[in-house]
Structure 1
Amino acid sequence: KQKYIGYQNTIDTTGVTQISTSDPDSRQIMTRNNISEVAYTVQTTVDALHNIPIDFKVTNENDSKAMGGMLRRSKTILGHANFIAVYDKGYHTGSEFDYANRLGIDVLVAIPGVSAHAPDTAFDVEYFKYNKTADSYTCPAQETLTTNGNWYAKKNGKSITKMKHYKTSACLNCKLFTKCTKNAKGRLIERSQYAHLIYQNKVRIENNYEVYRRRQAIVKHSYGVIKRKWDFYYIMTKKTIKHAAADVGLIFSAYNLRRIFNLIDQNLLKQYLKVLALYFGVLIPVFNAFYGLFYFMNEEYFFPKRILIVV
């Protein structure tokens, strides 16, 4: 009992929401189909030309806030922002679109399904047309929903998003009221501060759908080999995210070597290996010479003399 009281005290005093007793850095994470596991998440950036991972980061959080950080790292690695990044719907977050926009990177992020439907799906929010000039919405009944211009804070987990509210008094006398909403005060549309960026992503998806369709073929190539062929559904090390990252790094290094060997012409690969062997052939004698000189001058450092007492 005292052990669990201690856990509760830790939560109350530190602000952490989870405590893992087997691995202090791991967390309960939704993995698939509402199934959760105590695990880590591996964020990976994969080159589309040869399906080679160029970057990874082990985290203990879900995907929703990961896109911006990985894009920043990719921009640093490549030295420019002239590329398109493709993500699944788990990365569809307004603040991350803002991060990508400030980096100057175009992203294609899958659009998740509507979380809440109107009583009649013909009145879902996607069928309300936004008028940018008037900052208003037109509903399927051709009524205009307006805003008072104020921003309201909406909390979602740890994050807070600013929202504008749009509504009209025409709802109360509308014949389609029951099909549109269950709210007795009428239909309310919320528009986030990132709505324009979310819309731009939708347009990019529509204009580059064939590019987006390549996502699974790109990223799942490496994970298919690592998980299915090599059976690395898990990591070998435990205790801290640092050790987990080292384990994942070794896995990706092995994959990249195998992938490169498969891509390079065998005769060309042999030439590269011969050059590499030549370098080692030159460097090893030099290293041995320096090592021998250092050893000779510091023999007592390696094998300190001991006093032997005979009794």
Structure 2
Amino acid sequence: MAYVQGTHRLQTAIFCLEDFIAPDAPVRVVDAFCEQIDYVALKVRGRYTQDNCRPCYHPSLLLRLFIYGYLNGIRSSRKLAQECTRNVEVMWLCNSLLPKYHTIADFRKRHGEQIREVFRQFVSLMCRWKLVGKKTIAIDGCRFRAQNSRKNNYNEDKIRRQLTYIDHKVSEYLAEMNELDRKENKKQKDEKRLQELAQNKTRMKERKSLYLHLKKQLEQSTDAQISTTDPESRAVVHKTGVVEVSYNTQVACDAKHSLVVHYAITNENDRKALHPTAMAAKESMGMHKGDPITALADKGYFNGEQIQRCSEDNIRTYVPPTYNRSQESIPASGYHLEDFRYHPSCDTYTCPEGHTLSTNGHWYKKVYIRSEQTRSTSYFKHYKTDKCMQCPAKHLCTVQKKGRVIERSQYAEAIEGNSKRLRQHKEIYLKRQQIVEHPFGTIKRWWGYSYTLMKGLRKVGADMGLVYLCYNFKRVMNILTTGKMLQKLQMMST
């Protein structure tokens, strides 16, 4: 039977790398985009690779390599260095240069801010190509596992449990050693057991000294936990209820094509991130501070102060309120806070029974402690009436002996406006998931980038910057097609 025969491996051939790259190949788009970047303005720092001051690689080479790698699921610097020797597209992209893995890794960990600026420049391109609507953004946080195991993350309770366990084990070892010492006729195996117990006791004391050192560090720190492998990572609860040591990324997506217009790496929760993220997104899209925009976020971002600041900067928020535990003390429906009518002109409330609740005008201070790391302070007024004690509906309205008391926060007006928008336009808020969950599903499920390769906020920022840049890159290629995107980039260079 005849088979198709190939060219012999020893056959001499004349060819160039250009012949192997298709005219509309994505690697050409990467090359064209990197040609548009002003590397002098980015202030990319060069580095000599040998003691004899051999010239360093141009930063465009390493940036091309990283963008190509992240687009094709290759994030490791060692694997990228390997691709330079066997991948025809990478050979064409890098002009057959062979940077070492250490040189590749150094570029990523030392240029987090420059990578962020490249991301911003690509966002500007998306705005220029009318791919960003600049009307509605969706904000959410996404957690990526850090290079720090749960075993190497400690808090006060964990250290206390370990110290208690060590003291208990040491007591057991001492008791068994004393029992063996009281025996008159010691056998050889008893001597071995004594040595084993002594070694165990020494090992436990060493562990105890380590935990005492961690306890001292925790007492001197303002944080409630310590990570020993990556000190800036934090243990957080994921949506599945599993605790993982992670970093939190704040992301703002434009509603038109679910393109990421801003990202920020933090090790905190979402509670104080609404206003900074929305303002950074407006700046990234080239909008002025007072330009109107709609921001959608889940209940983890609900914060009166943040909603108030968004309102002052012309940001219309759609954030569902968190569950109010004070509602549990209301015996019957129809007497919740939303059933009381507020009158701004006279600063009073009218209850469902028609009684007027007034305030003495004094602002009270309340400190909310949601965790050892999260504390917030707010001011509020009390509203009450003397007629509450004689009201026949008192047993339906409150369980308090002195009658119903309403607390009105200093941010109540902004919160009420936010709640009113949610009630009147539920269809707007329902778009949040399909806007902002699209990048997370693509990055974490399809690409498998559910963790970070770097340690520390600055280096993790570079890793995540490349991830979100490549997400936008691939999505724009899908929207415009590769050929049209390449054509637009080439027209910019002429």
| TM band (smaller chain) | 0.7 to 0.9
Are 1:219 and 2:429 matched, yes or no?
Answer: no
Paired residues of 1:127 and 1:140 also in contact (CA < 8 A): yes
Give the drift of 1:35. Answer: 5.3
1:107 aligns with: 317
- Greater Rg by CA: 2
Farther-moved stretch of structure 1 (267-276 vs 240-249): 267-276
1:147 aligns with: 359
Give, in whole Å, the separation in 2 of the partners of 1:33 and 1:271.
44
Which letter does structure 2 place at the counterpart of 1:75?
K
Give the drift of 1:47. Answer: 1.4
Match of 1:43 among 237, 240, 250: 250
Are 1:88 and 2:298 matched, yes or no?
Answer: yes
2:462 aligns with: 246
1:263 aligns with: 479
Paired residues of 1:65 and 1:91 also in contact (CA < 8 A): yes
Which structure is higher in RCO with an 8 Å CA cutoff and minimum separation 6?
2
Give the drift of 1:13. Answer: 2.9
Match of 2:230 among 19, 23, 44: 23
Is there any run of 5+ residues in structure 2 with no aligned partner, and where? 1-207, 370-374
Are 1:119 and 2:327 matched, yes or no?
Answer: no
1:102-144 CA-partner distances (Å, limit 9, x unpaired): 3222222223343332122332222122121221112222222
Give, in whole Å, the separation in 2 of the partners of 1:95 and 1:34.
28
Give the drift of 1:194. Answer: 0.1
Give, in whole Å, the separation in 1 of the partners of 2:243 and 2:356.
43
Farther-moved stretch of structure 1 (25-34 vs 148-157): 25-34
1:167 aligns with: 384
Farther-moved stretch of structure 1 (29-38 vs 186-195): 29-38
1:47-106 CA-partner distances (Å, limit 9, x unpaired): 111111011001111111001111221232222223211111111100101221232222
Secondary structure of the 2:238 match is strand
Are 1:197 and 2:404 matched, yes or no?
Answer: no
Give, in whole Å, the separation in 1 of the partners of 2:263 and 2:348.
42
Farther-moved stretch of structure 1 (251-260 vs 72-81): 72-81
Paired residues of 2:247 and 2:266 also in contact (CA < 8 A): yes
Give, in whole Å, the separation in 2 of the partners of 1:34 and 1:146.
44
Give the drift of 1:234. Answer: 2.2
Paired residues of 1:30 and 1:62 also in contact (CA < 8 A): no
Give, in whole Å, the separation in 1 of the partners of 2:242 and 2:331.
29
Farther-moved stretch of structure 1 (200-209 vs 127-136): 200-209
Paired residues of 1:167 and 1:189 also in contact (CA < 8 A): yes
**Aligned-residue RMSD, C-alpha:** 2.2
1:203-255 CA-partner distances (Å, limit 9, x unpaired): 22234433222111111111111122112222232x31222222211211221
1:131-187 CA-partner distances (Å, limit 9, x unpaired): 212211122222221110000001012211001011122222222223222222221
Matched residue count = 277
Which letter does structure 1 place at the counterpart of 2:222?
G
Give the drift of 1:272. Answer: 4.1
2:287 aligns with: 79
Give, in whole Å, the separation in 2 of the partners of 1:232 and 1:266.
23
Give, in whole Å, the separation in 2 of the partners of 1:91 and 1:40.
17
Give, in whole Å, the separation in 2 of the partners of 1:62 and 1:148.
36
Secondary structure of the 1:61 match is coil
| Percentage identity across paired residues of the two chains | 35
Q: CA, structure 1 residues 28+171, in 2 after alignment: closer, same or farther (shift >3 Å)?
A: farther
Which letter does structure 1 place at the counterpart of 2:247?
Y
Give, in whole Å, the separation in 2 of the partners of 1:182 and 1:30.
35
Mapping 1:264-303, distance limit 5 Å: 264-272=480-488
Which letter does structure 2 place at the counterpart of 1:108?
Y
Secondary structure of the 2:318 match is strand
Secondary structure of the 2:361 match is coil
Q: CA, structure 1 residues 149+250, in 2 after alignment: closer, same or farther (shift >3 Å)?
A: same
Which letter does structure 2 place at the counterpart of 1:259?
R
Q: CA, structure 1 residues 149+274, in 2 after alignment: closer, same or farther (shift >3 Å)?
A: closer
Give, in whole Å, the separation in 1 of the partners of 2:237 and 2:351.
36
TM-score norm. by structure 1 comes to: 0.81
Give, in whole Å, the separation in 2 of the partners of 1:246 and 1:133.
52
Match of 1:186 among 400, 403, 406: 403
Secondary structure of the 1:174 match is coil
1:270-300 CA-partner distances (Å, limit 9, x unpaired): 5346668x88xxxxxxxxxxxxxxxxxxxxx
Is there any run of 5+ residues in structure 1 with no aligned partner, and where? 280-311
Paired residues of 1:152 and 1:163 also in contact (CA < 8 A): yes
Are 1:229 and 2:229 matched, yes or no?
Answer: no
